[in-house]
Chains A and B, each alone.
Chain A
């Protein structure tokens, strides 16, 4: 369960001022977050992950408080245990797929790390690319590695920022299945940002629609 109630004011020289003011609660399952570009989708993910700091409000995952302006709580990114899948994957280019996944496994035991990484590779049916670096694998495979890496870190929630925007239609359908499978396996909240309507419809039992920093439509 993730509960979010926050306000964040954005201002820059080039853009007009923008206020993000949202309040929502999501349970275990996939929640799709949609809205036009610039409506604040990615900002919400970044605020939950701790990359950005809200002006006021609170963010709670299960019984753990990530942020609470009233109580002066602001957990660091490292302590929030959030699995983040970036739009451009952000796989470390100097590590192979296996090392990318192992990097996030929280233990000092090297053997355990490697075993866990191999387990994740096999879960996503990509054992054959374990020793290849990101540049040597396809977009779909990179996406699987990114998801595997996020899950290997044993997160409380998973945030996916338009993860399939760079893969072809056929691969996209397969990856959507895998995202759903991964959610079922872990049984934790996934927040999936997309502006692709077919993806949203395909995944969205629960859906939040944003417009200009405000929620206009929660669909359940």
Chain B
């Protein structure tokens, strides 16, 4: 399966299902920027099959981002759905010289902000990150040889999730884009529609808070364990 076959990727839901069956390399599809540009043009003209291709290209990134921002699968699914609805709605405003994924991340950040606000109005579920998280998200992976390592890994994952939940929206978005998604500071600044220095400040603040949270949490856990002994 090379790049020549990628150019022949058919459009439409049925054809794409066929593409899944024959296991076309999804990563290669995602990286094929020229075909994505073509899909964007066609989708902006009203081609829904092309829009579906865009969703297939970008759904994993969007889902990962929304999960990191919201902390559980159910909210991440709803937010991802809303992201693609907004993409369809505003696709005509997208300029071809723009970076599509930067534009998409911008929409994702806004949708996550709205979703978090809405959720906060109903309850403070977000404050207990692991409670809102779907079952199994922080479970010990069964395939790991060393059960102790797996447990530590899971605890660390839960710890960082809790620490992330304490961050304000913009700091959380900045650090997710910079450290988890691996974008540069300048790219994050473009997505967040702010300056690079502001983003640096937000990232610095977020890293400090995460470090302090982890320290305090570990100290507390250590004190509890020594008390039990």
A and B, one complex? no
